[in-house]
Amino acid sequence: MERKTLIYNARLVDEATDMKDAGILISGEKIEKILTGEDAAAILRAMDLDKADLSAGTDVFDARGQVVMPAFIDMHAHFRDPGLTQKEDLESGSRAAAAGGFGTLVLMPNTSPVISSQEAAEGNNRRGAGLGLADLFQSVSITRDFGGKDISHLESLDRTVVPLITEDGHEVLDSSVMYEAMKIAARKGIIVSCHCEDPFLAAAARPIRMAALEELEKGKREDAARLLAKADNLLRLAEDVATDRNIRLAAAAGCHLHLCHVSTKHCLEAAVRAKKAGQDLSLEVTPHHIGLTGESMPGIFNIVNPPLRAQEDRQALAEALISGDADVIATDHAPHTLQDKKGGSPGFSGLETAFAVCYTNLVMGSGMNLQALSSRMSAQPARLLSLADRGLIKAGYRADLAVVDTNHVWTVLGGDFLSRGKFSPWEGKSLTGRVTATLHGGRKVPPVTEP
């Protein structure tokens, strides 16, 4: 007999639904039925009358009035496995994902060695599935081993196994190579995800940025501010020119272009223009780019690529997510060791704070409704990845669910993270909204934080 799970006393929220005093009946891994409060109460009464029958095969979960949403889907996460597992591995990353309410993640290929084949990607997917915590889709590099030239491995990819290719953390410098790779992806229906950054401009900015941080450590804030502005101008240009190039190449190739971690107003406007002109294009925004600015968070521990931008950029990104011009929220979860962060390694651990940062800054801070937030974190990425059975709360869909307490105010302490990367730019800060339980395929998965 297939095990059933009854969730009751819940507020159900997805892209199309906001239903209070409701429930969900789950059979095995699938949602069987959406219940009103009365429906759920009737099932509970029947269970109480005949405990030997119904309750023996049914788990009961009282949501205590909390919000139940489709589990989140992250199109951009780094699990560092294989080869860099001192930063993160599949198990620690999957546990962090479960703690953050994520049920499906696309992993970046900048591991050691670089993931440059479907066989290697399938290996990570299988290992992830064996953990039973989340579904992992390992992406593959655009050029073999990030070498910048060889794209022969792309011909053997199956989009149902590898839905996305990327040179994340790098840029394919040779436009003719990128164009040919995009044409292969277009023919196969594979998404080309671009980390848009001119590496020469980025390299020119790096010593200036490090010099600025040294001045900041000495207390010379004016000198630091001047150097940071110079570095930021170069890094802004690096993202802008690479984005413009990749949009043009993708339009010519006819592929689906996905722009990673868009952070400047210029890139946002260029992407929106291309979409409105009919180009097959999507874009993601990270929680840290909508919650922080470079002016408010200088310092070596707050280095991230692309960098935290100006308030004008942050506001434009938030508005684009609210309006739907920006398609998805993706974490760019990038865990590092403390030693690496002290050395200036870019990136933050973001899975365990993503919902709270977005709820605090977008819903509470900017007037976004919870349905729209669910769309950007669940339904939209599910559509982009052609995952027809998740992203919504509907009968027949996978019972991948996140239970969130939208009234819970908590203080971020990186030492409590399940990720191996303990650094967060929100360390010691208060956020509102916390994931209290995650269900993956109808089963509550660890860890669970009791409300």
**pLDDT at res. 119:** 98
Q: What are the φ and ψ backbone dihedral angles of 69, each rounded to 5 degrees?
A: -125, 160
CB atoms within 10 A of CB 207: 11
Regions of the chain with pLDDT less than 70 = 1, 48-57, 447-451
**pLDDT at res. 164:** 98
**pLDDT at res. 228:** 86
Helix (H) or strand (E) holding 36: strand 30-36
**pLDDT at res. 53:** 45
Span 1-47, pLDDT tens digits: 688 999 999 999 999 999 999 999 999 999 999 999 898 888 888 77
| CA–CA separation, 171 and 179 (whole Å) | 13
| CA–CA separation, 389 and 399 (whole Å) | 9
Question: Residue 381 burial (CB < 10 Å; 0-12/13-18/19+)?
Answer: buried
**Residue 268 and residue 326 in contact, taking contact as beta carbons nearer than 8 Å:** yes
Percent of the chain beyond pLDDT 70? 96
Q: Is 150 a catalytic residue?
A: no
| CA–CA separation, 270 and 236 (whole Å) | 14
Closest CA to 144 of 175, 120, 179: 120
| CA–CA separation, 145 and 141 (whole Å) | 7
Q: How big is the CA angle at 340 (ends 336 and 341), to the nearest 5 degrees?
A: 80
Q: CA 292, 298, 301, 307: dihedral to nearest 10 degrees?
A: 60
**Residue 154 and residue 115 in contact, taking contact as beta carbons nearer than 8 Å:** no
How far lies 291's CA from each of 169, 324, 330, 370, in Å? 22, 18, 13, 17
Q: DSSP label at 451?
A: -
CB atoms within 10 A of CB 160: 9
| CA–CA separation, 373 and 359 (whole Å) | 8
How far lies 230's CA from each of 218, 233, 297, 372, in Å? 19, 5, 16, 37
**pLDDT at res. 210:** 86
CA 353, 375, 245, 155 torsion-angle sign: positive
How far lies 84's CA from each of 31, 87, 122, 233, 240, in Å? 37, 6, 18, 32, 30
Span 338-383, pLDDT tens digits: 999 988 899 999 999 999 999 999 999 999 999 999 999 999 999 9
| CA–CA separation, 407 and 10 (whole Å) | 14
| Residue 178 Cα to chain centre, angstroms | 25
Question: Residue 293 burial (CB < 10 Å; 0-12/13-18/19+)?
Answer: middle
**pLDDT at res. 37:** 86
**pLDDT at res. 325:** 98
**Residue 142 and residue 154 in contact, taking contact as beta carbons nearer than 8 Å:** yes
User: Helix (H, G, I), strand (E, B), or coil: what is residue 167?
Assistant: coil
How far lies 31's CA from each of 72, 98, 335, 439, 451, in Å? 16, 19, 34, 11, 24
Closest CA to 382 of 333, 328, 332, 444: 328
| CA–CA separation, 177 and 314 (whole Å) | 33
Catalytic residue among 135, 168, 198, 332: 332
**Residue 178 and residue 246 in contact, taking contact as beta carbons nearer than 8 Å:** yes
This prediction has a pTM of 0.95
